[in-house]
């Protein structure tokens, strides 16, 4: 039973490890679904993966933006220093120009420090997401090869985390209350 994908559907090729296609096919038949529907169902079971991939992509784009902003700020700082040096070479109004440029330089240095801190934090977050996705990929590959121990622990941990989040939301709706 082959269906054409919907007009709004994203299409892409996926390389599966040896044996995974057969396992997916068997699971899909057992569930009464197409292989595509089986893959989608499995992905939907773990919405955190998509969120992590999106966050990793955002982090990468944000890192590039911050690096560009940092480069622009450094270039602006260099221009300000050059202008200050030219102003100092001309005796008229040099003191005022120096004061204005000192303020600009101080502000730019503050912005550079902020950008460097943000870039560092963003870099750490990107690295964390990349390591997490790598671990999850290895776990899925192990499960595809028959060792689903880590995957079962992950799923169980996921259920516990979702239940804790649900309980926290309920507690918040009740107005905080006492710890149970």
Tens-digit pLDDT profile for residues 113-145:
998 898 888 888 888 888 888 888 888 888 888
Mean pLDDT of the chain: 81
Residue 27 within any structural domain of the chain: yes
CATH number of domain containing 124 = 1.10.287
Structure tokens at 117: 């801190």
Residue 159 within any structural domain of the chain: no
Q: Residue 30's pLDDT is what?
A: 94
Kindly report which listed range (4-8, 30-34, 118-122) carries the lowest average pLDDT score. Answer: 4-8
Q: Residue 111's pLDDT is what?
A: 87
Report yes or no: 1 and 33 within 8 Å, Cβ to Cβ: no
Of the chain, the percentage scoring pLDDT greater than 90 comes to 8
A 10 A CB-CB count for 66 gives 20
Quote the distance between the C-alpha of residue 6 and its chain's center.
28
Report yes or no: 118 and 126 within 8 Å, Cβ to Cβ: no
The whole model's pTM is what?
A: 0.41
pLDDT digits (tens, 9 = 90+) for 69-114: 989 988 988 888 888 777 777 766 777 777 888 898 888 889 889 9
Query: Half-sphere exposure of 20 toward its Cβ, with a 13 Å CA cutoff?
Result: 15
Kindly report which listed range (24-38, 42-56, 69-83) carries the lowest average pLDDT score. Answer: 42-56
> Is the dihedral angle over the CA atoms 54, 58, 61, 67 positive or is it negative?
negative
Q: Is the pLDDT of residue 32 over 90?
A: yes
Residue 84 within any structural domain of the chain: yes
Report how far residue 168's alpha carbon sits from residue 30's, in angstroms, rounded to the nearest whole number: 36
Q: Residue 142's pLDDT is what?
A: 84
Q: For 14, which DSSP code?
A: -
Report how far residue 133's alpha carbon sits from residue 49's, in angstroms, rounded to the nearest whole number: 8
Residue 174 within any structural domain of the chain: no
How far are the Cα atoms of 5, 44, 52 from residue 37, in angstroms, in the given order? 11, 10, 22
Phi, psi of 8 (to 5 degrees): -90, 5
Residue 160 within any structural domain of the chain: no
Report how far residue 145's alpha carbon sits from residue 162's, in angstroms, rounded to the nearest whole number: 28
- Dihedral angle over CA of 76, 77, 79, 80, nearest 10: 120
Q: Residue 5's pLDDT is what?
A: 57
Q: Residue 26's pLDDT is what?
A: 93
Structure tokens at 157: 């941990």
Report how far residue 154's alpha carbon sits from residue 136's, in angstroms, rounded to the nearest whole number: 9
User: Which domain range does residue 30 map to?
Assistant: 20-147
Q: Is the pLDDT of residue 3 over 70?
A: no
State how many domains the chain has.
Answer: 1
Residue 4 within any structural domain of the chain: no
């Amino acid at each position: 039973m082959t269906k054409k994908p919907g007009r709004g559907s994203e299409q892409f090729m996926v390389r599966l490890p040896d044996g995974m296609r057969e396992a997916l096919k068997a699971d899909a038949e057992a569930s009464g679904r197409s292989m595509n529907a089986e893959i989608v169902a499995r992905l939907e079971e773990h919405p955190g993966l998509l969120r992590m991939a999106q966050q990793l992509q955002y982090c990468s784009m944000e890192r590039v933006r911050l690096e560009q902003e940092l480069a622009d700020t450094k270039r602006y700082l260099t221009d300000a220093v050059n202008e200050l040096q030219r102003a100092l070479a001309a005796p008229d109004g040099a003191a005022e120009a120096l004061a204005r440029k000192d303020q600009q330089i101080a502000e730019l240095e503050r912005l550079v420090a902020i950008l460097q801190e943000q870039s560092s934090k963003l870099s750490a977050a990107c690295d964390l997401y990349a390591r997490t996705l790598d671990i999850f990929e290895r776990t899925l590959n192990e499960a595809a090869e028959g060792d689903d121990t880590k995957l079962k622990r992950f799923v169980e941990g996921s259920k516990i985390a979702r239940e804790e989040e649900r309980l926290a939301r309920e507690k918040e709706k009740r107005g905080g209350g006492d710890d149970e």
